[in-house]
């Protein structure tokens, strides 16, 4: 079992799943903590979203893709591309929810959209956003 976990974490795809799951749990805990501190649901989700966005960017960059370049000229374009991708994913998720609203539960449509966006996110992170070659976004 340990060898399977080590093998999985040796690959960016395994680390990608681990980081994504960890950020998801972090966001859920942030919502619970914010609400316990008196925030309403919308504020708690807003706080969770932004903290999750920054945590996800840092962990995907540093842990998943081992991109240690921290110069401003690298970080700013990477974060901009990452943020634009998040906005695109949000729009896509809303579209899927709208298209499937009368056929499947919201949790299922969100899960489907999340699965699809996770696939293209991994590809774009690996080949464009966090790649240190001439194909990168910066």
Task: Identify the residue whose tokens are 């998943």.
Answer: 64
Is the pLDDT assigned to residue 40 strictly greater than 80?
Answer: yes
Mean pLDDT of 55-68: 95
Is the pLDDT assigned to residue 67 strictly greater than 70?
Answer: yes
Is 107:90 a contact under the CB 8 Å cutoff? no
- Give pTM, 2 decimals: 0.82
pLDDT, tens digit (0-9, with 9 covering 90-100), for 73-108: 999 999 999 999 999 999 999 999 999 999 988 889
Q: Which pLDDT score, from 0 to 100, does residue 8 have?
A: 83
Task: Identify the residue whose tokens are 């972090």.
Answer: 26
| Residue ranges per structural domain of the chain | 1-66, 69-138
Q: Which pLDDT score, from 0 to 100, does residue 137 have?
A: 54
Round to the nearest angstrom and report the end-to-end CA distance of the chain.
40
């Amino acid at each position: 079992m340990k060898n399977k976990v080590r093998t999985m974490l040796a690959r960016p795809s395994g680390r990608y799943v681990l980081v994504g799951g960890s950020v998801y749990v972090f966001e859920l805990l942030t919502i619970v903590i914010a609400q316990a501190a008196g925030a309403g649901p919308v504020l708690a989700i807003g706080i969770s979203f932004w903290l999750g966005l920054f945590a996800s960017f840092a962990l995907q960059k540093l842990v998943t893709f081992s991109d240690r370049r921290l110069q401003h000229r690298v970080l700013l374009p990477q974060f901009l591309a990452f943020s634009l991708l998040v906005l695109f994913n949000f729009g896509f998720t809303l579209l899927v929810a709208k298209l499937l609203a009368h056929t499947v539960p919201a949790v299922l449509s969100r899960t489907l959209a999340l699965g699809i966006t996770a696939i293209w996110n991994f590809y774009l992170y690996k080949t464009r956003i966090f790649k240190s070659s001439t194909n990168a976004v910066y």
